[in-house]
Structure 1
Amino acid sequence: MSYKKTLLAIVLTTLFAFNTMAQVWEIGAQAGGAGYMGDLNPTKPLKISGLSFGGFAKVNFDPNWALSLNYNFGKIKADDAKSSNEGFRARNLSFSNNLHEISFMVDFNFFDYFAGGGFSKFSPYLFTGIGGVIFNPKAVYQGKEYDLASYQTEGEAYKTYALSVPFGLGVKYRIGERWSLMSNIGYRNAYTDFLDDVKGLYPDASKLSSDPNTRQMQQILSDRSGENTGNYIGLPNTQRGDFRKRDTYMFVGIGITYTFVSQKCF
């Protein structure tokens, strides 16, 4: 597939860069918030639902271009019961999810910026790349937490990892010869629709487990609509999600970086 070729090219470029441009390595860490858009939050791209933190190692090719290896953690969650949408409140689904992301990203600085050189003290920048995310949506029922992927709440098994495509923008500010502050916001297109365990339809009986205990929990976790009212709306093969093909998640934060500068620095 094309994305595999792209990922391989980025990996090889990174290895070459670390060998040839070691004098301009940069490391950093940041913390902030995480959010998501999907079946339980289709309209609020800036909604923060949990904390995030991460770190990276970066090689700067020149004051404008850089390539980094990144790790990010973020917690996302949503609860229909707290929605302003009446239909969502009636559906009454909820989830929480810990995201672990590893990615390769390219930065482009608009100004001639670099913590160990360059003429500008600050610069806005753009970034994009490719990565992967590991996830595991969970929900609480009667005080107990359940791994939703294990119960196939729509009668469909899915992987708890996916390809992701990050993109975003930020600003960097040099506070010393080797130190910089940064702030950024970045979205990720995840190649899965199950970050929230919701995709399309309520399952029919033929897709449920033959084990009676598992089958009962599948039915309970699939349709939470009648827990408070006794009026369950999750009829088999009726709409449960919004039918969008992919979920999106987001990290926003502030951080600090340190650049290893040598006499060979550009």
Structure 2
Amino acid sequence: MRYFRIQLLMAIAICLSFLKTFAQRSEYWRERPGSWLLNTGVGTTRYLGDLNERGNLGHLRLGVSVGVAAAYRFSNRLTFRAETQLYFLRGSQADTYLSYNNLSFRSLNPEVWAGVQFDFWHPEDKNHIIVPYAIAGFGLTYLTPKTTYKGQTYSLAPLRTEGVTYNRLPLILRYGIGVPILAGERFKWHLEGIYTHVMSDYLDDVSTVYPDRSTMLPIAAALSDRRSELGLPLNAAGAKRGNSTKRDGYFILSGRLIWVISTARQQHYRRSIRG
């Protein structure tokens, strides 16, 4: 019992020492209002739309993303941020309850957006060692849905697979949270989870109903309804192809490397808060 108490006291002492060090390092996460930061991130994407099942965790069909951002610390809790990003998505009805329709897509899309980061607590709040933040903003993305048919890749938007021409440069709304996980004098590592709501239902080239294929080019008709590849009869014109009441989106979980641009005023500010 005595040995256990000694071990417990040693563990507590180590934890307290670690927390003290961690709290000291947390001062690095504070930038002087007026500071500029550069930011790059790599993450994994998950598409949410007509060609997947949200709860189908066995077939996530993850993609990747890379982005570069610039940020300006406006106040102790508010930061303005602008970013450009390239993200890869993929989706398929295989292994879903709509597998008999056999539709699929993939896309490598660029996006630009601007918005704000708002810290949950004031940096001088001694009750919190680290300060997570909320992110919100808006921007534009360019849609490039493609698919493979008989060994060849086809761009779907120009083929008008639902008989309509849709906007390939829709507005996007982004929102999520981030948390700092490691900090140094000039560099910080953050983890962010952001959902992007696309103001279009054609991120995956699927939205409404099957068109009249008799008026379409042969390749467009073949990619509009792919049931024949499974030996199934084609859908009738006007049959449901997608869910137009719910727009598409995607989630990105990313690690961010942030570089605080050092100035004499920023260095003086850090020395002052470390006392």
Normalization by structure 2: what TM-score? Answer: 0.78
Q: Deviations over 1:31-65 (max 9, x none)?
A: 11111111112424984521111110000012311
2:225 alignment partner, one of 215, 223, 226: 223
Name the CA distance, whole Å, in 1 between partners of 2:75 and 2:125.
9
Q: Does 1:159 align with 2:167?
A: yes
Name the CA distance, whole Å, in 2 between partners of 1:155 and 1:220.
13
Distance change >3 Å, CA 162–CA 52, structure 1 → 2: same
Q: Deviations over 1:51-87 (max 9, x none)?
A: 1111100000123110011011111111212x232xx
Name the CA distance, whole Å, in 1 between partners of 2:200 and 2:233.
27
* Unaligned stretches of 5+ residues in structure 1: 1-20, 210-214
Please show how residues 73-222 of structure 1 align to structure 2 within 5 Å: 73-81=86-94, 83-85=95-97, 88-113=98-123, 122-205=130-213, 208-209=215-216, 215-222=217-224
Aligned partners of 1:70 and 1:102 also within 8 Å: yes
Name the aligned partner's letter for residue 219 of structure 2: M
Name the CA distance, whole Å, in 2 between partners of 1:194 and 1:182.
32
Name the CA distance, whole Å, in 2 between partners of 1:205 and 1:25.
55
Aligned partners of 2:210 and 2:235 also within 8 Å: yes
- Determine the structure 1 residue equivalent to 2:15: none
SS of 1:227's partner is helix
Structure number with bigger Rg: 2
- Determine the structure 1 residue equivalent to 2:54: 43
Percentage identity across aligned positions?
Answer: 28
Relative to its length, the structure with more strand (as a share) is 1
Shift of 1:121: 5.4
- Determine the structure 1 residue equivalent to 2:81: 68
Name the aligned partner's letter for residue 54 of structure 1: G
Name the aligned partner's letter for residue 180 of structure 2: K
Name the aligned partner's letter for residue 218 of structure 1: A
Name the CA distance, whole Å, in 2 between partners of 1:45 and 1:110.
32
Name the aligned partner's letter for residue 62 of structure 2: S
Aligned partners of 2:146 and 2:154 also within 8 Å: yes
Name the CA distance, whole Å, in 2 between partners of 1:174 and 1:43.
32
Question: For this pair of structures, how many residues does the alignment match?
Answer: 233
- Determine the structure 1 residue equivalent to 2:7: none
Q: Deviations over 1:143-186 (max 9, x none)?
A: 00000001100000112211000000110135212221100110
Name the CA distance, whole Å, in 2 between partners of 1:93 and 1:60.
45
Aligned partners of 1:149 and 1:197 also within 8 Å: yes
Name the CA distance, whole Å, in 2 between partners of 1:182 and 1:121.
15
Alignment RMSD (CA, Å): 2.3
Q: Please, which moves more after superposition, 49-58 or 245-254?
A: 245-254
SS of 1:58's partner is strand
Q: Deviations over 1:86-134 (max 9, x none)?
A: xx11000000011211000200112344xxx998752211000111111
Normalization by structure 1: what TM-score? Answer: 0.81
Shift of 1:141: 0.2
SS of 1:221's partner is helix
SS of 2:220's partner is helix
Distance change >3 Å, CA 132–CA 123, structure 1 → 2: same
Distance change >3 Å, CA 183–CA 67, structure 1 → 2: same
Distance change >3 Å, CA 173–CA 28, structure 1 → 2: same
SS of 1:123's partner is coil
Q: Does 1:24 align with 2:26?
A: no
Shift of 1:260: 1.5
Aligned partners of 1:190 and 1:247 also within 8 Å: yes
* Unaligned stretches of 5+ residues in structure 2: 1-31, 270-275
